[in-house]
Amino acid sequence: MSHAVEFLNEVQQVAKLLDVAAIEVLVEELARLRTREGRLFLIGVGGSAGNCSHAANDFRKLCGIEAYAVTDNVSELTARANDEGWETIFAAWLEVSRLSENDAIFVLSVGGGDPIRNVSVNLVKAIDLAKQRGARVLGIVGRTDGHAVKRGDVVVVVPQVNPERVTPLSEAFQAVVWHCLVSHPALQSRHTKW
């Protein structure tokens, strides 16, 4: 079997195994966030950071939710990493933004952060700050054992159907799930051009 056939078979498996109920709960959370005029802060690293930028656009443009991809300000991001350390880049950004109980963070990540293994500690610190401030913690991640799942309020987990492809399938399905959200009739307030 070719790689392409194998990969696309795994895509089909993941799509069938996604927790639809959790996606619908995310829709409800985002609708409540918009109603209370809260802000949505998307955080992620690597490929997930790129997904955050695209998702922030979609939540703003299609759903009328005030949304920000924290990594879009590369000058602040790199200044904070240089001066204060990589671990606090998101939490420090959220502090200046006055993150409150009215707001939510949205974690896009493969692992969701792990303080014990010292992986994506910047996500861990942002999640912990959100919990301290009473903000909701939402997300789409690829593992059940990360900090986002353990401390999050509503986190969709992309099912692992092949341990060798957790990263590509997780990052691909971040896009599938957020596009499901922004096109949901309960959230979408503006139509796409096509």
Can you give the pLDDT at residue 41?
98
Give the DSSP H/E element, type plus range, for residue 40. Answer: strand 39-43
Given a cut of 90, whether residue 135 has pLDDT beyond it is yes
pLDDT for res 1: 84
Nearest to 31, CA basis, from 89, 108, 80, 104: 104
Q: Is 131 exposed, middle or buried (0-12, 13-18, 19+ CB in 10 A)?
A: middle
Provide CB contacts within 8 A for 76, sequence distance 6+: 93
Structure-token pair, residue 135 = 């903000």
Question: Can you give the pTM of this predicted structure?
Answer: 0.96
Residue 72: predicted pLDDT: 96
- In the chain the domains, ranked by start, together with CATH numbers, are 3-182 (3.40.50.10490)
What is the model's pLDDT at position 122?
A: 97
What digits encode the pLDDT tens for the residues 83-123?
A: 999 999 999 999 999 999 999 999 999 999 999 999 999 99
Check residue 145 and give its pLDDT: 96
pLDDT in tens, 141-193: 999 999 999 999 999 999 999 999 999 999 999 999 999 999 999 999 999 98
Following CA atoms 168, 170, 174, 180 in sequence, which dihedral angle do they give, to the nearest 10 degrees?
110
| pLDDT score of 183 | 98
Q: Compute the average pLDDT of residues 43-65.
A: 98
pLDDT digits over 63-91, tens only? 999 999 999 999 999 999 999 999 999 99
